[in-house]
A and B are shown apart, each in its own frame.
Chain A
């Protein structure tokens, strides 16, 4: 390890801060371990490369990059791309699961309403079910309670 330039010191400080930040998020349970691992790996990789100067220099020399810091950038970008790709996968899966949940919620709600109509007729006369005019209303609709189907049949 040779002299510590300002540039390297900065990178070391930032990666250390990132490591600590991720650690703290996990400790407070704001970030689950599952997603922290990728960030920790990325931060650790960058930290090692920044702290261990000879490694970055020889690595960049091997692949023909004359300016070692740009090799650091390349690695950092690659890590970020991996993390983003992973998050895209997670988001796709979540929205898929979200859709399925919504569909099943709708089906269950319909089934409950149907069985309620079949047995106990809920008290009618709700003010909010009276909606005589047919103007297109852009305002938020009231959250519709499951009991509110007095007008059915």
Chain B
């Protein structure tokens, strides 16, 4: 069994999920693929299985946060050392998984590496709409101020964590729109993260989890969560022990 897991959250992505799984198999040999079917009403789970992925089927739609947490729970149970989130809609290019892994391995102190669309000034690739970028810039400012390090793309879900990150996220992961809060959660637990530049593509299928009408709720909810989080002195859960890696070696 491989030690690395690619977690693909998918909701009604029957058309794209097989392609995503195949691309991960092609470009990231050292990764097992887990598709978390978040209560899809189409053939997402079947397509993912046909493509050779393990499938976690949620009995109903939990939202991206709950689905991803289930993925991290799976990674924890099966003793994976590294987990990377790759969206099932084709936005995240599996060719970058190797870059993320390299960055994560380069620094043993590092617990999480995020693929950022905005780190390089070259600006090619898919960068989403102007309004969305404005919202991202607000989050970027807030998150950078809180963590004391530059975070250019806090809403990117294309991120890789090591075992400490898996343990943390399996225990505690934000409900909906988890990306921004996840960075702060890492920070609150004194786990270190960084960004590398990636190029993202426009999604193949499905709508963004954030429609324009929901974007206001998105902003308010995340900012509220961030604000309240500032007053949470000690982390809600404790995960300090980085040496608890080989717990499930028998799996």
A116 to B60, CA, bound (A): 23
B62 x A99 contact (CB < 8 A): yes
B40 x A141 contact (CB < 8 A): yes
Main SS of the interface on chain B? mixed
- Interface size of B in residues (CB-CB distance below 8 Å): 29
Contacting B at CB under 8 A, from A91-114, are 99, 102-107, 109-110, 114
Is A2 close to B, CB under 8 A?
no
Main SS of the interface on chain A? loop
A114 to B50, CA, bound (A): 14
- Interface size of A in residues (CB-CB distance below 8 Å): 24
Minimum CB–CB distance from B44 to chain A (whole Å) comes to: 9
Give which listed residue, A102, A129, A141, A153, contacts B41 with CB less than 8 A.
A141
Q: Which of B51-59, B128-136, B178-186 lines the interface with chain A? A: B51-59
Is A151 close to B, CB under 8 A?
yes
Residues in chain B near residue A138, CB distance under 8 A: 41
Give which listed residue, A102, A114, A131, A137, contacts B66 with CB less than 8 A.
A102
Is B74 close to A, CB under 8 A?
yes
A129 to B46, CA, bound (A): 8
Interface flags, A13-33, vs B, CB<8A=1, else 0: 000000000000000000000
Is B49 close to A, CB under 8 A?
yes
Chain B residues packing against A (C-beta within 8 Å): 12, 14-15, 36, 40-43, 45-46, 49-50, 52, 54-60, 62, 66, 69-70, 73-74, 77, 175, 205
List 3 A-B pairs, minimum CB-CB distance, nearest first: A103-B70, A106-B56, A99-B66
